Amino acid sequence: MLKLSRLRPSSNEGYLAWVLLVVIVTFSLLTNQFLTLQNLLDLTESYAVSGIFALGLFVVLVTGGIDISFAAVASVVQYLIATLAIHYGLSSPTGSILLAIAIGTVLGMINAILIYCLRIVSIIVTISMQSLLFGMLMWLTNGTSLYDLPDWLTTPIRVLPFSVGEQHYQIGLPVVVMLAVAALSWILLNKTHLGRQLFAVGGDQESARRIGIRVGLLHLFAYGYLGAMAAIGGLVQVYRVGEVVPNALVGGELDVLAAAVLGGASLNGGKGSVVGTLMGVFLIGVLKNGLNLIGVSSYFMNIVIGVVIVAAITVTHYKKRKETEVGFA
């Protein structure tokens, strides 16, 4: 007889997998529109940008920091690139992408410099930067959207097309970009000396400094990496919707942060995984998609998401407390 203890997950990813399975089965029973290949592909593509943001944010969380300004960085980058393309003849796709990544990286590094050099709490700095960047963008542009974008940024590209019976499907470019970013992040954090140093800084910053790790440079890299991912996510968002709307991305930062925390990332640093982060993103995506399909109010939807996040954080902190408890005979 199979023991139930063998089914108990041994990792955060295992718990998330069980939760995802239960949620997917539940929505599949409640509506026949949920478990269709087209809906799942649309769902994956819809949350690809959030996945890119979450992977960048995860690198910052690993170091024990936090950054709320990535959506504003993405908005600024996509507006700058679109403006240069429309009004100043920037026509090179490769040059535009590299310029976008460079701008995003610099904006991310500014956060790191303010946090590390001025010894200001990261969440205070990044909320201020988010307000500053978004406010300047809306003030300078009057909130005007851009539509006359270059073809390379808006023309749909057929990526990994496939057929099931007589139905034709494809895995879209946003998903491919997200998977590429996930692979890069996984290699960085799990297969490089730099990745081990990032986890060490998040585990105990003072101990990391004492053994010779250059904490300031690692923070500079982590926040710059998130800035680069914000820029990539911003361009992918433009590709998906075919327009640049200044305030389209700002406001979803907490969902991205929640996804990373659901995936096992600790707000204290030093924990989490790339796979868990992606699972957290798509758990939130599945919940929102499924609740929408069964006609649940968007207000109640926020309640459900909030309950799931609180439950995940509670379980994570309970496990951490149990791991650090010391017994006395």
Q: What is the mean pLDDT of residues 222-242?
A: 96
> What confidence category does residue 268 fall into, taking pLDDT thresholds of 50, 70 and 90?
confident
The SS3 of residue 24 is helix
pTM: 0.92
Q: What is the mean pLDDT of residues 200-227?
A: 89
- What pLDDT is stored for residue 329 in this prediction? 42
Distance, CA of 220 to CA of 201 (rounded, Å): 12
Angle subtended at Cα 94 by Cα 170 and Cα 242, rounded to the nearest 5 degrees? 50
- What pLDDT is stored for residue 103 in this prediction? 97
Q: What is the mean pLDDT of residues 212-225?
A: 92
- What pLDDT is stored for residue 261 in this prediction? 85
Distance, CA of 80 to CA of 325 (rounded, Å): 51
Q: Is residue 34 within 8 Å of 43, Cβ to Cβ? A: no
Inter-axis angle of helices 274-293 and 48-62, to 10 degrees? Answer: 140
- What pLDDT is stored for residue 323 in this prediction? 58
- What pLDDT is stored for residue 3 in this prediction? 54
- What pLDDT is stored for residue 277 in this prediction? 92
Instruction: For residue 321, give every residue at least 6 positions away whose Cβ sits within 8 Å of its Cβ, in sequence order, or none.
Output: none
The SS3 of residue 77 is helix
Domain hosting 85: range is 4-324
Q: What is the mean pLDDT of residues 118-130?
A: 90
Residue 265 lies in a domain: yes
Q: What is the pLDDT of residues 134-174, one digit of tens each?
A: 999 999 999 899 998 988 888 888 788 788 877 888 888 99
Which range has the worst mean pLDDT, 253-262, 288-297, 312-321? 312-321
Sign of CA dihedral 22, 27, 32, 35: negative
Q: What is the mean pLDDT of residues 246-250?
A: 90
Residue with tokens 């940008």: 49
CATH number of the domain encompassing residue 90: 1.10.3470
Q: What is the pLDDT of residues 31-48, one digit of tens each?
A: 999 988 899 999 999 999
Total number of domains in the chain: 1
Residue 329 lies in a domain: no
